[in-house]
Amino acid sequence: MVEPRVMDANIDRAASFIADQFARYRVSTPSVSVLGRARTEAAHQTLERFRPRALELAAAMDDGEPGAAEAYGAHVERALAHMRQAVDETAASALQRWAARAHRVFGDTDEAEYLDDPDFDPVMRVQMLEDLDAINTTVGNYRSFFAQMEPLLVLGRPTRVLDLAAGHGGFALEVARIAGSLGIEVEMTATDLRAEYLALGEATARNEGLKVHFKVQDALDLSNLEPGAYDIVVCTQSIHHFPASMTARMFREASKAAGRGVVFIDGCRSMLLGAVIRSFGLLRYRNPGLAHDAWVSFRRFYSPEELGLIAQLGPEGPRVEATWMPPAHCLLRYRS
């Protein structure tokens, strides 16, 4: 009989190989390949209709007009709902129409993740975070995310990076490790509203001697920061915790604080990948909590076109790149 640790190592190698092949050959999920064109057309139509008013509200918001931020957020929510309806209408084939309906039903959930519950067992919370970091490392997610930052790195001095909604700072800690191994100077600051999460990351940084700062910061309000206070502002694997109205606000705040650019990365909504990662959580880590949160996350993720719409409605729109990022993510990148 194969020992559990040997089986786990074999599963890790297989998962790493499969993820690498998917990324190398840009193998997309059915939702991306089947619905991509319909979503792109729906997003274009929605931008033409909703962006003029969005720009007016964005200007009012920047001028500090009362109620402008709420009105902007509501407008973004209406635009996203319009786009999703338009996908059904622009679907050209029976397969696309079926996929659009199935995808809409799959994403229709109010179920919460265990990690969002402040009363969740702290021991199980730590274990889930450790397992999540292990998955990201095994399948190469963190290195892939770092690669998306590289074009924005500063030469000749340390690059100042602000990580929003960073939780326990899993990505920030890995950036410090990767940068150190490459001889790249990076000053990482991981932020979140949950001090107990930041404390976990701070302990890891201290134990490993990693130069990562941790501080409490509201990702939706960066007015305490000077424009360009950081070179790069990132947010990874957290966007699905926010409704479209808050995501739009967070992206606008990040674009003001970033001197060189913004990199937002989150998972791509997919029934197939949700089932795969859920099974991985059960079989490899034997962690039902992780499996539960993985499934809920994949239901709450946006599509690349949806995230693009949310960011491109604002003044930053023409400089926002919104793409599918193989094998399982959406990328928003903005150059200041």
Domain ranges of the chain: 1-336
Task: Tell me what pLDDT residue 2 has.
Answer: 58
**Residues in CB range of 35: below 8 A, 6 or more apart:** 87, 91, 96, 99, 100, 103, 303
Task: Tell me what pLDDT residue 94 has.
Answer: 87
In this structure, what token pair is assigned to residue 31? 């939702």
What is the model's pTM?
0.95
Task: Tell me what pLDDT residue 77 has.
Answer: 98
Q: Does domain 1-336 have CATH number 3.30.70.20?
A: no
Task: Tell me what pLDDT residue 4 has.
Answer: 75
Q: Exposure of 17 by Cβ count < 10 A (0-12 exposed, 13-18 middle, 19+ buried)?
A: exposed
Question: Is the separation of the CB atoms in 297 and 267 below 8 Å?
Answer: yes
Per run of 10 residues, the mean pLDDT along the chain (length 336 residues) is 76 86 79 90 96 98 94 98 92 87 90 92 93 93 96 95 96 97 96 94 96 96 94 97 96 96 96 91 93 96 96 96 93 95
